[in-house]
Amino acid sequence: MTVVNQATLLLLLAVLGTKAACTPEQCDITALSVFGTWVLVWSVSDNLEATELLENLTSSVIELRLLPDNTTIVYNERNMFQDKSCTKYFINMSMPSDSDSAAPLRSVGAFHKDGVLSEFNDPGRVEFFVSCSDCLMMVYRGDIGNFLLSYRREGQHQDVEQLKASHSDNKKLAECLRFPHDKPFIYDGAAGQFLWAGISPRVKVLSAKCQS
Radius of gyration of the chain, Cα coordinates, nearest whole angstrom: 17
pTM of the model as a whole = 0.71
Element (H, E) at 138: strand 135-142
How buried is 70 (Cβ within 10 angstroms: 0-12 exposed, 13-18 middle, 19+ buried)? exposed
pLDDT of 184: 92
Task: Classify domain 24-210 by CATH number.
Answer: 2.40.128.20
| pLDDT tens digit sequence for 14-73 | 333 333 344 444 434 333 478 889 999 999 999 888 899 899 999 999 998 888 887 777
pLDDT: is 130 or 29 the higher one?
Answer: 130
Q: Which residues of 1-10 are buried (b: 16+ CB within 10 A; e: fewer)?
A: bbbbbbeebb
Is there a contact between 5 and 97 (Cβ–Cβ < 8 Å)? yes
| pLDDT tens digit sequence for 65-106 | 888 887 777 888 888 888 888 888 888 777 665 544 433 344
Instruction: List the chain domain ranges.
Output: 24-210
108-113 and 145-153 strand pairing = unpaired
Q: Cα–Cα distance between 12 and 22 in angstroms, integer? A: 11
pLDDT of 97: 59
| pLDDT tens digit sequence for 141-158 | 877 789 999 998 888 776
pLDDT of 42: 93
pLDDT of 188: 75
